[in-house]
Amino acid sequence: MITLGIRYLNGFAAASDPDDRDAAEWPPHPGRIFMALTASHFQTDASASGRTALEWLEQQGSPQIHCSTGLSRDVVTQFVPVNPRIADENKAREKERTAGKKPPPALQSAPGIIRTRQPRTFARTWLEDDTIWLVWPEVEAPTAIREALSLLCSKVTRIGHSSSLVQMWVSDADAPQSPNWVPDDDRSVIRLRIATPGTLADLERRFNGAANESYAELLVVADDDSDKKEQKAARARLKADYENEPPPRHRPQLSVFQGYAAPLPLGETSASVRGSVLSPFFLPLTLERIDGPYRHLDLLNVLIFCQRLHEALCSHCDDLGTAVIAMISGRANGKPLDVPHLAFVPLAFVGHPHADGRLLGIGLAFPETITRQERRGVLTALERARKEGLKLGRLGSWRIEPITVQRPPVNLLPKTWTDQPEGATEWATVTPIAFDQHAKAKDKVAYRAEIAAMIRQACQRIGLPEPREVIVMSVSAHLGAPTAQEFPRLQRKDGSKRRHSHAILIFGEPVRGPILLGAGRYRGYGLCRPMREEG
């Protein structure tokens, strides 16, 4: 086992999310910590032992993370003077020499007069506990590697912004508590950048340090007229090798992401009882208002919200391959898929005496058969859509965000909706089940019996056993959910409206969710939740 400890000395972490400069990054991405170690290596002695340790670390996979909950504050725009780039100064100086003029001393002696102040934001996360731990539980580091890593850690002074001061060390013991984030692509709630084999070499190439050092040395010689011959040679090399322009130096970027989730309780597995064709480990996302007249959405807005989210994901997946496009759109070769694909799970405040049916978030439910590449493709499209937000017309603009707090509301927990792993026998709808066809019976009793038969078939269609009993209702058994009549009806291709209804399902054996039934199951309709006493 190898453990890295990091203490944030100021009680906060100052680092921007790579997808949103105005949002704070928490927990810290393992890739960011690797880049901090790399910076300490190159900024000091750049020893061979340090390089060997970094190359060893980038091959050890993704660590487990123990960290406290972070509190992000509103980002305030600040205006700071920007230092002029050395290259720009040299270029201006060269132009003045070419014109036979001497640069005015004001350029050097009073930079504050001519430098403008530029807007900058500094995203911060205030921490409940200032120490975090990265743990590789199955990895044993050789003594030489451990010593080199310890030396590198002692040289790290910041992670993220220069104000984010840290103390870092290699621990000989395990973290004081169990991790709260573990690598798990199948159940991932957040995606964090990681280091992979070749990361060190890629960072070195992007920094282009050797070329920039050579360029700087030539500039010094070209600016020194004490030796005309060397000065002329240096200027010739600057033009021939660099065209009098500084070599490119790109910002460090990590393109490999790892999904992270909370660890499973001891003994829990992903297939304890029979379930539907959808994985019980769906991705929950919170819903945040950007602007508009409403403070929150409710369950009656599920259809328009899911439709807009579906359109946003489809618009950002054109370059991700046919498999990902089919997984998101639910269509292939112009026809609907006959296999499961991405579904949306509306996460609402229901099942409590004070529940009001507000929409807290949305869950992305993946088929059990989805491949890792398809899942990563869907998450890539999600990240792109998340940056832009969702515009819902008169309902305003909204943003979907990953859940990073340790104790989210119970209705945002997948277990609340799936009852994984033990399962449940009694389920009731939160959103109504849209029927695949119109019931033809005229008698009220026969009509309900026909609807119950359609719901039984819908259960079998998604891989569940046939319910022992189906009770058709116009209201939901869960407090806070609107009646079936209040929900907008799905529209058929011919323009007619589908009928829908609430229901209670009683199975002969425990089953686990997510359970989404009927014609609108991929757009949030037909969502069932276990019936249990709520605290």
Q: What is the 3-state secondary structure (H, E, C) of 37-104?
A: HHHHHHHCCCCHHHHHHHHHHCCCCCCEEECCCEEECCCCCEEEECCCCHHHHHHHHHHHHHCCCCCC
Which residue from 306, 407, 402 is spatially nearest to 359, judged by alpha carbons? 306
Tokens 């054109």, located at residue: 318
Strands 274-275 and 500-512: parallel
Of 237, 260, 283, the position where a domain reaches its end is: 260
426 and 310 assigned to the same domain: yes
Residues 279 and 186 in one domain: no
DSSP 112: H
Q: Which residue in 397, 401, 400, 399 sits closest to 293, CA to CA?
A: 397
Identify the CA nearest to 53 among candidates 170, 160, 193.
Answer: 170
* Residue 113 in domain: no
DSSP state of 529: E
39, 141: one domain: yes
Q: Quick count: other Cβ atoms within 10 Å of Cβ 199?
A: 24
In 10 A of CB 463, how many CB atoms? 14
Task: Report if residue 305 sits inside a domain.
Answer: yes
Tokens 């322009």 -> residue: 245
Give the 3-state secondary structure of residue 261. strand
Task: Please identify which residue in the block is written with the tokens 């030539």.
Answer: 218
Helix (H, G, I), strand (E, B) or coil at 422: coil
User: Is 400 in the same domain as 454?
Assistant: yes
Residues 155 and 270 in one domain: no
Residues 33, 148 share a domain: yes
What pTM did the predictor assign? 0.63
- Give the torsion sign (CA, 332, 336, 339, 345): positive
Looking at residue 158, its amino acid is R
What's residue 145's pLDDT?
92
Q: What pLDDT is stored for residue 483 in this prediction?
A: 93
Is the C-alpha dihedral spanning 429, 430, 433, 439 positive or negative? positive
Q: Given this model, what pLDDT does residue 113 score?
A: 45
Measured CA to CA, the distance from residue 194 to residue 181 in angstroms comes to: 14
User: Strands, DSSP E only, in 403-461?
Assistant: 424-429, 433-434
In a domain, 246, yes or no: no
Q: What spatial distance separates the first Cα and last Cα of the chain, rounded to whole Å?
A: 40
pLDDT at residue number 106: 41
Nearest to 31, CA basis, from 65, 7, 2: 65
Q: Along the 535 residues of the chain, how does pLDDT read in single tens digits?
A: 889 999 999 988 888 877 667 778 888 999 999 999 999 998 888 899 999 999 999 999 899 999 888 776 666 666 666 655 544 554 555 555 556 555 544 444 444 445 566 666 678 888 888 899 999 988 888 899 999 999 999 999 999 888 889 999 998 766 667 788 888 876 777 778 899 888 988 888 888 777 878 888 888 888 888 888 888 888 888 888 878 888 877 777 787 888 888 887 655 554 568 888 998 888 889 988 888 898 899 999 999 999 999 999 999 988 888 999 999 998 888 888 888 999 999 999 998 888 989 999 999 999 988 888 888 889 889 888 888 888 988 999 998 888 766 567 888 888 889 888 788 999 999 999 999 888 777 788 888 898 999 999 999 999 999 999 999 999 999 999 999 999 999 988 888 888 999 999 999 999 998 999 999 899 999 999 998 754 3
Q: Which residues pair with 367 in a beta bridge?
A: 278
Residue 213 exposed, middle or buried by CB count within 10 Å (0-12, 13-18, 19+): exposed
Name the residue type at position 352: H
In a shared domain, residues 293 and 146: no
Q: Are 305 and 297 in contact (CB under 8 A)?
A: yes
Structure tokens at 53: 């340790």
Is residue 455 included in any domain, yes or no? yes
197 and 280 share one domain: no
Could you tell me if 197 and 303 lie in one domain? no
* Residue 107 covered by a domain: no
Q: Evaluate whether residue 481 is within a structural domain.
A: yes
DSSP-assigned beta bridge partners for residue 65: 134, 181
Sign of CA dihedral 15, 21, 27, 29: negative
Q: What angle do CA 432, 435, 436 make, to 5 degrees?
A: 145
Return the CATH number at 137: 3.30.70
Same domain, 291 and 333: yes
- Tell me how many domains the chain contains: 2
State how far the alpha carbon of 54 is from the alpha carbons of 31, 34, 38, 138, 192, in Å: 12, 8, 7, 18, 19
Give the residue from 221, 244, 260 where a domain finishes.
260
Query: Given 243, 260, 277, which residue is the final one in a domain?
Result: 260
Q: For residue 428, tell me if it sits in a domain.
A: yes
- List helix spans (H) across 85-165: 86-98, 106-109, 111-114, 143-155
How many CA atoms lie less than 13 Å away from 475 in the CB half-sphere? 4
Q: How many CB atoms lie within 10 A of CB 220?
A: 9
- Which structural domain range is residue 198 located in? 2-75+121-206+252-260
48 and 180 fall within a common domain? yes
Looking at the fold, whether 342 and 305 belong to one and the same domain comes out as yes
Closest CA to 252 of 179, 169, 193: 193
Please report whether residue 274 resides in a domain: yes
